A and B are shown apart, each in its own frame.
Chain A
């Protein structure tokens, strides 16, 4: 992949997740909550699952279908360990159990992460990108990928943006997955003056 495209993805990730992180910090009662975006990649579908922890790691996936001027699929995937840290900080739940409230908190976090990213992209391109009601899956990464990608054009390369948060000295890993339909990715790139990608 060319450097311009990668820079573009990283910049997008910074803008999209920056806003969400500020507010997540507020949701965590002002606890220090820093974000770094250490890595953004475009990967063939088969490699993407491996990149996000390997097919057998248990992960939490929050996923949506995107409609409007840009169509595609998006997801926020985080390892179960990270999800449990987040739940402890967010709702004070130490049980490690996935009850209804825990599940809905994760759904909302995923929704906010995904939508903030889409909002940033929409602002830069003037295109509407509306997410569906998020689905939530907790399973081995391989199975979660199947849920995320149900109906997606799997010929596409998958954009994976790895994010890392730090709260109360603990690290929380998350991965934002963006799969616009082929034509729509080109549309976004053109509108942002990046030429043919």
Chain B
């Protein structure tokens, strides 16, 4: 069965772009969240195999959402996809529990590579 992925990004355009890439490569996108709060609620409900997480979002940022999701499921596999690639932010995300950090804009291959690595 295809591995399941939940996408978190505040722009519809980026969610669409990510969804295309992810589904073309044999994964199943089971949910889309537009902010951190939604991501936490959807994670609890859907328990996807993997999550992509933006950092700068309204209501709840990605770092807080990673921490909340890790509380629900310490085994959660979260890949950050954010334009904000500054060192302190990368370190904060990884120590919060993220497994990988992709800096936007990214190419499709890099996303797939990360999903393969994290999902295996």
CB pair B83 A132 closer than 8 Å: no
For chain B, what secondary structure do more than half of its interface residues adopt (helix, strand, loop), or is it mixed? Answer: loop
Residues of A within 8 A of B (CB): 20, 23-24, 26-27, 91, 100-101, 104-105, 107-108, 111-112, 115-116, 118-119, 122-123, 126, 128-133
How distant is the Cα of A68 from the Cα of B111 in the complex, in angstroms? 28
Residues of B within 8 A of A107 (CB): 11, 13
Residues of A within 8 A of B16 (CB): 101
Residues of B within 8 A of A128 (CB): 86, 88-89
Residues of B within 8 A of A100 (CB): 12
Nearest-Cβ distance from residue A161 to partner chain B, whole angstroms: 18
CB pair B56 A27 closer than 8 Å: no
How distant is the Cα of A133 from the Cα of B85 in the complex, in angstroms? 15
- B10: interface (CB < 8 Å): yes
CB pair B104 A123 closer than 8 Å: no
- B57: interface (CB < 8 Å): yes
How distant is the Cα of A111 from the Cα of B13 in the complex, in angstroms? 12
Residues of A within 8 A of B103 (CB): 119
CB pair B107 A115 closer than 8 Å: no
Q: A101-B13, A133-B10 are in contact. Are A27 and B88 (CB under 8 A)?
A: no
Q: A112-B105, A133-B56, A133-B57 are in contact. Are A119 and B86 (CB under 8 A)?
A: yes
CB pair A131 B13 closer than 8 Å: no
| B83 interface neighbour in A24, A111, A123, Cβ under 8 Å | A111
How distant is the Cα of A27 from the Cα of B11 in the complex, in angstroms? 15
CB pair B106 A23 closer than 8 Å: yes
Chain B stretch 50-72: residues in CB contact (< 8 A) with chain A: 56-58
CB pair A130 B83 closer than 8 Å: no
